[in-house]
Chain A
């Protein structure tokens, strides 16, 4: 098929916007409901994130004159489009789309929402936004080193930076280690306990998002949901190689992708319900002291395997 059409289908239909936006709402609901059930509460009804989104679209925004208003309005749109692009790049179906090095593009697109949150907090010129953004920046530097080292070690051990090839790889000890390292970085990426400091409510008045309202806040919530889909989808595609190749239908591959993503969401919800929020020094120390050593081990063994074989 025409590669442009394939790319458009991947970005717009599956696993792109048409699938990702309802999936984002579904994953957000699964997380809230799982945390509530583990806390003996009944939790929100099924369509809750959808109703939150619609309600936010109908609220007014405070007047923000000048260029600062334009910049503030741009960050949530950049965050949503990059998260949607990251979801669209995921190699769910074996369609031979993609290009050499699209893993790098995926990592960049996964990174952009955090960068947008940091810039949004500073550009809102509110004290609480600045504090929240500074915390998010410190956390982002810490977990990103581990995250990127883990992914690069998986890619280096497979001698490729192409997502299709990574999705079809056979699991080795190194790739298992890398996936575990990615899972450890996910709570910080998705701002859930124990690393939920950047949007700590009642501590810094919602952190970087303090001055956002209405449709902009709806876009931030949607970007957060799409980040969930992209991050859990990345783990799902790395964990389950193209089983569709063996089973032969795309529908089964799609279902497996969704089931594995929901399993990752449930695992992260258990972690979120079981832990409390760590302060910034403890969070940063965790990533630098405990996990960095494993990431360094992973990349050095990947390079060792590469140069030795």
Chain B
């Protein structure tokens, strides 16, 4: 039904629930995410709720360049997020690994492992930029929701142990 689809689009745009994941970040972007929920910026005016479980969330906010030990966790959590979902890479680290570009403990930018929808640049980005990124992801979700791409599982069936770095 067309009316139901329009209603669902509006609902997805107006009720983005976040799950925040730290993939090896320095915590600067995480502090700015918490500041985005504080009274001055107040993400709740857009209906944003920080959820405690990835199964409840629509938008996965990832900070930090993806370290070797965090990459399996990020993929597992991405698979656990249900239904029409979006990923926001907050800060320059998940987009391009920023200053850690030659580090041996990183496995590259985030979009090598999960599909990223919105990039919020900054080191750290300001809280209003983070809210703008989440609002953009909510509009992307609203358009995507009615033909959801079949999201195949990103994580392999068996988890391989992380190889040791050769000295």
**Residue positions of A touching B, CB distance < 8 A:** 32, 36, 39-45, 47-48, 51-52, 54-55, 57-62, 128, 199-207, 209-214, 217
For B84, the chain A residues whose CB sits under 8 A away are 58-59
How many B residues, CB 8 Å from partner?
Answer: 27
For A59, the chain B residues whose CB sits under 8 A away are 58, 82-84
The binding surface of chain A is classed by DSSP as loop
Question: A48-B14, A206-B51 given. 4 additional CB < 8 A pairs?
Answer: A54-B11, A55-B8, A204-B52, A206-B53
In angstroms, Cα B47 to Cα A54, docked, is: 13
Minimum Cβ distance to chain B for residue A199 (Å): 8
- The residue in chain A whose Cβ has the minimal distance to the Cβ of B41 is A41
For B143, the chain A residues whose CB sits under 8 A away are none
0/1 string, B34-76, CB within 8 A of A gives 1: 0000010010110101111101101000000000000000000
For A203, the chain B residues whose CB sits under 8 A away are 52
In contact, B50 and A201 (Cβ under 8 angstroms): yes
In angstroms, Cα B49 to Cα A92, docked, is: 34
In contact, A36 and B83 (Cβ under 8 angstroms): no
For B8, the chain A residues whose CB sits under 8 A away are 54-55, 57-58
Minimum Cβ distance to chain B for residue A192 (Å): 15
How many pairs of A and B residues are in contact by the CB < 8 Å rule? 97
B7 interfacial by beta-carbon distance below 8 Å: yes
In angstroms, Cα B52 to Cα A214, docked, is: 15
Minimum Cβ distance to chain A for residue B22 (Å): 12
For B15, the chain A residues whose CB sits under 8 A away are 48, 51-52, 54-55
For A48, the chain B residues whose CB sits under 8 A away are 14-15, 47
In contact, B82 and A213 (Cβ under 8 angstroms): yes
B121 interfacial by beta-carbon distance below 8 Å: no
In angstroms, Cα B77 to Cα A66, docked, is: 24
In contact, B44 and A62 (Cβ under 8 angstroms): no
In contact, B47 and A214 (Cβ under 8 angstroms): no
In angstroms, Cα B42 to Cα A188, docked, is: 27
In contact, B11 and A213 (Cβ under 8 angstroms): no
For B82, the chain A residues whose CB sits under 8 A away are 59-62, 213-214
For B45, the chain A residues whose CB sits under 8 A away are 41-45
In contact, A55 and B12 (Cβ under 8 angstroms): yes
- The residue in chain B whose Cβ has the minimal distance to the Cβ of A58 is B8
